[in-house]
Amino acid sequence: MRRALLCLAALSVSVPAWTADAWAADYIPRTENERAFAQILEEHQSYNERLQEVAAPLFKANARLCPRTRRDIGMTVHTISDYQPSLQPFAEVLMGATDRLSVRTIRKDSPADNAGLRVGDKIIGINGAYMPGGFTVQRFFKVATQNAFKQDSTELKVMRGDKRMDIKVGPETICDYPANVFFNQKINGHTDGEQIIITSELMKTVPDDVNLALIIAHEMSHAIKGHQRKEKALELKADRMALVLMSNAGYDIDRAISYWRESSHPHAEYQTTSKTHPTIDERYENFRKEQARIEKLKAAGKTIRFN
């Protein structure tokens, strides 16, 4: 979240001194800058929620194929310290952030969602360990959850308003290549080997979730194989791997290929002469060949793995 909000640091605003508890119900942006920030924040939240929903099946269904995995319950947390000083008033008023750790997002049908956790819940304990406030709590939380989530069941102590609650949640194992939205006007998706980065412009221009899953799976494939350089052969391999990941996750790969073929490709004019990327026709033929292999394995009742 912090990285995505850096572009907003130039906004000079006056934020009402309202309590975090009242922000969701009562806050109405008044100045031009407040409205601009609120709109960008809403877009960011919407893009991130969609990205997490589309990526989750890929991460869950392919844990056995991923060299990096982690235990996860499907929620993100934040504190006021996660934001730049100039943005902290907005984070407090618009997102309810304080110096205590609280739930920022919950993925639908995740262990956290099924256990009854809610956005805004303050996390005050994990398996009996107290969670302090302040700027070090995120680091403390990461270490605490790494240990706690190894178990089949984890108990979270939360504050919801004035009420203390104990909530038990069962973590699941997923691929450890987090997908994040980065606000940028370029249509792009890439990976640094540790996370998958999708630009806001790409999210805006790809309305179909199956095609978005193909993009995520392609970058996920690069991360799984540790591809450090761009080569035509590696791009084609990542395309083939992406179809395996999608098929395992229950996505319709025939629809994905057809939609991809019919879509506009922003870099198509460079691909006929590119030394690092295959042409549209080469990729399409590659997709169809891998689809045929996957369908043959499915018909035979065999496990679908990378070729």
On whether both 160 and 292 belong to a single domain, the answer is: no
Domain end: 173, 193, 228, which one? 173
Contacts of 10 (CB under 8 A, 6+ apart): none
Residue 148 has a pLDDT of 92
Residue 23 has a pLDDT of 41
Q: Strand locations in 58-188, DSSP E?
A: 69-72, 75-78, 102-106, 122-126, 129-130, 154-160, 163-169, 172-175, 179-182
Kindly state the tokens that stand for 118. 């809610």
Domain end: 125, 148, 173, which one? 173
Residue 8 has a pLDDT of 38
Kindly state the tokens that stand for 16. 């009402």
Report the C-alpha dihedral over residues 289, 295, 297, 299, rounded to 10 degrees.
-150
Report residues of the chain scoring pLDDT below 70.
1-30, 265-273
On whether both 132 and 276 belong to a single domain, the answer is: no
Asked if the structure places residue 276 within a domain, the reply is: yes
Asked if the structure places residue 201 within a domain, the reply is: no
On whether both 214 and 169 belong to a single domain, the answer is: no
Domain extent for 17: 2-173
Write the pLDDT tens digit of every residue in 27-49: 566 677 777 777 777 787 789 88
Residue 275 has a pLDDT of 76
Asked if the structure places residue 161 within a domain, the reply is: yes
On whether both 97 and 161 belong to a single domain, the answer is: yes
Residue 270 has a pLDDT of 61
Asked if the structure places residue 119 within a domain, the reply is: yes
On whether both 278 and 141 belong to a single domain, the answer is: no
Residue 273 has a pLDDT of 67
Cβ-count burial 170-192 (b if 16+ within 10 Å, e if not): ebbbbbbbbbbbbbeeebebebe
Query: Which segments of 158-199 does DSSP mark as H helices, in order?
Result: none
On whether both 280 and 138 belong to a single domain, the answer is: no
On whether both 125 and 260 belong to a single domain, the answer is: no
Of 4, 6, 8, 35, whose CA–CA distance to 200 is shortest?
4
Contacts of 53 (CB under 8 A, 6+ apart): 107, 108, 209
Residue 96 has a pLDDT of 82
Write the pLDDT tens digit of every residue in 273-300: 677 889 899 999 999 999 999 999 999 9
Residue 89 has a pLDDT of 79
CATH of the domain at 68: 2.30.42.10
Residue 5 has a pLDDT of 41
On whether both 7 and 130 belong to a single domain, the answer is: yes
Asked if the structure places residue 117 within a domain, the reply is: yes
Q: What angle do CA 21, 25, 27 make, to 5 degrees?
A: 90
On whether both 156 and 35 belong to a single domain, the answer is: yes
Side-chain half-sphere CA neighbours of 144 within 13 A: 20
Asked if the structure places residue 179 within a domain, the reply is: no
Domain end: 152, 173, 194, which one? 173
Asked if the structure places residue 305 within a domain, the reply is: no
What is the number of domains present in the chain? 2
On whether both 106 and 223 belong to a single domain, the answer is: no
Asked if the structure places residue 91 within a domain, the reply is: yes
On whether both 163 and 269 belong to a single domain, the answer is: no
Inter-residue contact 223 to 194 (CB < 8 Å)? yes
The DSSP output letter for 304 is P
Kindly state the tokens that stand for 78. 């934040």
